[in-house]
Structure 1
C-alpha cells in the first residue's frame, strides 16, 4: 500500500449537526466516550497499511488540528504521516476557500503528483465504519478499473436517501441516480439480489447498491478529471462524469456504516455502542480505533447503579447514581443521586480541580452533573456545568427545532451545547421554535 495516498475530506460547516459543530468541525465531534470522528477514517487507513494521509479542512478546525498533532506521530523509519491541508492563498491556486469536495482536492493537486503515488483514496471525515482498503485495491486492480467506488446493499425504503449505482454483470458501474423516488427510477437502478448473493454477500431482500462516498482513483485518472473540468463535488459531478468516460468498478461492502450527518444519526449511533452486541464494535484487537493517548486515572464509582452503558477514563460517579443505556465521556463528574437515561455525556477537557474549571461567579454550578439531576434522551456536550436537581426531560408535544434557554431540541433529541451553565433547579419546559 506504499503507492497509495489518502485524502480525508474535512467536511463543510456541518449545519445539520449544529449545535455540536458550532465551535468545531464535523470530524472533531467526540464519539465513543474518548474518540473523535476523524479517528475512524485514519484508523481504517493505518489498519489497511496506508501510511500517507492528508486531511483537507476549512471550518472550525483548531481543535481538529490539535487532536491530529497530538495523536498521529509516526516513527521516522515508517515514513508515514497525517498532514493537514487547510484552505490557503497561493500564487498558483488563487485565494478562494474550498468550493466543494473536488475543488478542495484540486487545490492540493501538487501533493497527488509527487513521485511514488499510483492510487488516491478519497474518504469522508464524518462516517462510522470499518473497512479494509487493501481489499478494495485488490478489486480495483483485478478489474483494471480507473475508479472504484465502495457500495452498500440497502432496501427499497432506504434507497431514496442515497445515490444508487447501476451495475452490469461484471460489477462495472454503468449508471448512477441520486436519491431515486419513483418506481420507474428505482427499477432503473435495481440490482438483482441473486447477483449480490453470487458476490459472497447475502442480499436479504436488498436490491439497491448505495454509494458510500468512498472512492479509489488511479492517480492519472483523478488528475485528468480535476484538471480538465471545473467540477466542484465528487458525488454529484466527478463520479457521474467518470462513469461516462472511464471504467468505474463497484466494491461491495456489507459491514456497519453510518453517515454521521444529523443529530439523530449521531445520537443513535452512540447509544448503539452500549448494546451487548453493538453493530459497531470498538473492542476489536485486530482492527483497533486509534486516538490521542491520555494519562487519566481509572473511573471511580461509589455505590452507583450502571446498566448497559460505557464509561470512559477519569470519571467520578457518586453515590446512588443511576445510569442506563448511556455513554459517559472522559473526566465526567456525576453528582449523588443523579439519574441519566439514554444520555450521551461527552465529558470535560479538565477536572473540577483544574483552574480552568473555576466558577466565574460564586454559587455557579460546578463542572459536571449536579446531585439529584435527571436527564433523559439527551446529548450533553463538553464542559457543561449542570446544577443540582436540574430536570432535562423532553416535555410532551414538544416541537422539533425548539429552544429553551441555551438547550436545543433537534431531530427529537435534546442537545445541551458545549459549555452550557444551568442553575440549580432548572427545568426544560415551554420550548420555543428556533431557526437553524
Structure 2
C-alpha cells in the first residue's frame, strides 16, 4: 500500500523474561518451537502486504539481527524492505530513552521515504492483526492518530494505557498505567477497560511535529503513552481501532492477544497454543506464519522393548528424537532429544536440549543447549528448586542457556 511506512520497536531489554533475555533481546526469544516473538508483528505487516518496514533494535541485538537476516530478507530489486536499524546515537549521545525518543532518533528514515502515514508497532506480543484493515479505518476517520486497543479485565489496568472513547470512537480520555481503582471502565461493562496495545498509526506531519516538540521538552520521559498521546488527543482528532473489529479468515478466536513480557505470561501463552481448541491457530493457511527454519530432518519417535513413546497435546520441533518417553502439554523446539522413561509435562524447550533417561520435568522452561542428567527430577519440590534455579511466583522453573544440570 503506497504511502505507508512501518517502524517496529524491537529494542526492549526484557528484564522480566530473564534468564531467557540474558543473552538476547526480548523480541528474539523463541516462541512455540519454530518462531521468535518478533515474527508475529512482522507477519501482521507482511500478510497485509505492507512491506516497507524498519525494525529498531538496541539491547543484545545480535541474535535478533541474525534471525532477521535469515528469515526476513527481501530482494533489493523492488522498493520493499525489512531492514534492522540499530541504535546509533545520530542526534545526541543517548541511547533510546523511551518509545517516542526511539522514533525521534530515526526521523531521517521517515523523511527519506516520505510516507503519508507511519505505523509504529511493538514487537513483543502474540496476536494476529491485518494491519491494512487498521490503516483503512485510520484513513476513513481522518484523524491524526489511530491507536489499536483491546478489552482487558479492570484488575490488569495498571499494565496499560487506558482509553476513554465517545460513540464515534474518538479518544476523550487517556491514562498511562493508572491504579486499578482509578481506571475508567468501558460504559456498561464495569469489569473491563479499553487498553492500548501500544500500536499506532500517525499522520506523518503530526508525528514529526510532536516528536520535535517532545525532544525539546526537558521534563518529558519521551514516551508515546506517557507524553505524546495525553497531549495530542486534547486538541486533535485521535481515534481507536479495536482488535475485535479485525477479521482474519478461519481464525478460531476474535481478538486473541498476549503480552509475553514475563516468564509466567510466556508459559501461559504456550499453554494457550496447546489447548485442544486453541484460541490462536498456527495452522491457518490464510495467515501463514513466516519464520526461519533450519535445515533439519523430521522429528523421530522410537520405542524399545520396555519403553513406549507417548505424546499428547504437544509441539515437537524438527530434528528432535524421542525414545520411549512420555510428553504431555509441552513445546519442544528444534533438536530436542528425550530418552527412555523420561516424563515431560507442561514444559517448554527452546532448542538443542538433551533430557537423560528417567528424568521427570514439570513446568520447566529450558533455554538453548541445556543438558539434563539421567534421573533428574525438577518441578516436584519447588522449595528445593528455588535453591538452584529461577522459579516464578506461579511455580514455573527456568534454566538458562548452556546449562548442564545434575552432572
Mark yes or no: TM-score above 0.5. yes
C-alpha distance after superposition, 1:49-101 (max 9, x if no partner): 110111111111101000001111223444321111111143xx122211111
For residues 284 and 79 of structure 1, the distance between their equivalents in structure 2, rounded to whole angstroms, comes to: 29
- Does residue 407 of structure 2 align to residue 421 of structure 1? no
Give me the TM-score of the superposition, normalised by structure 2.
0.91
Superposed CA RMSD in Å reads 1.8
Matched-pair contact (CA < 8 Å) for 2:157–2:180: no
Task: State the partner residue of 1:317.
Answer: 322
Match 1:177 to one of 154, 175, 178: 175
Number of aligned residue pairs: 386
- Does residue 348 of structure 2 align to residue 376 of structure 1? no
For residues 113 and 11 of structure 2, the distance between their equivalents in structure 1, rounded to whole angstroms, comes to: 27
C-alpha distance after superposition, 1:150-185 (max 9, x if no partner): 0112233333432210111111001112334465x3
C-alpha distance after superposition, 1:318-364 (max 9, x if no partner): 12x0000000101111111111000001122xxxxxxxxxxxxxxxx
Structure 2, unmatched stretches of 5+, are: 245-254, 304-308
Task: State the partner residue of 1:154.
Answer: 152
Give me the TM-score of the superposition, normalised by structure 1.
0.85
C-alpha distance after superposition, 1:8-64 (max 9, x if no partner): 111332111101101000000000101100111111100111101111111111010
Matched-pair contact (CA < 8 Å) for 1:11–1:126: no
Matched-pair contact (CA < 8 Å) for 1:2–1:51: no
For residues 285 and 41 of structure 2, the distance between their equivalents in structure 1, rounded to whole angstroms, comes to: 17
Task: State the partner residue of 2:99.
Answer: 101
Mean CA deviation greater in 235-244 or 69-78: 69-78
Q: How does 1:235-246 map to 2 (within 5 A)?
A: 235-246=225-236
For residues 11 and 86 of structure 2, the distance between their equivalents in structure 1, rounded to whole angstroms, comes to: 12
- Does residue 307 of structure 2 align to residue 307 of structure 1? no
Task: State the partner residue of 1:192.
Answer: 187
C-alpha distance after superposition, 1:216-261 (max 9, x if no partner): 0011111010011224111211121221232110001121111111
- When residues 116 and 97 of structure 1 are mapped into structure 2, their CA distance, relative to the original with a 3 A threshold, is closer
Task: State the partner residue of 1:67.
Answer: 67
For residues 89 and 220 of structure 1, the distance between their equivalents in structure 2, rounded to whole angstroms, comes to: 23
Matched-pair contact (CA < 8 Å) for 1:347–1:368: no
- Does residue 391 of structure 2 align to residue 409 of structure 1? yes
Matched-pair contact (CA < 8 Å) for 1:154–1:209: yes
For residues 283 and 115 of structure 1, the distance between their equivalents in structure 2, rounded to whole angstroms, comes to: 35
Task: State the partner residue of 2:165.
Answer: 167
For residues 397 and 55 of structure 2, the distance between their equivalents in structure 1, rounded to whole angstroms, comes to: 31
For residues 279 and 350 of structure 2, the distance between their equivalents in structure 1, rounded to whole angstroms, comes to: 21
For residues 420 and 87 of structure 1, the distance between their equivalents in structure 2, rounded to whole angstroms, comes to: 31
Structure 1, unmatched stretches of 5+, are: 194-202, 349-366, 425-436
Moved runs in structure 1, 4+ residues, more than 4 A?
none
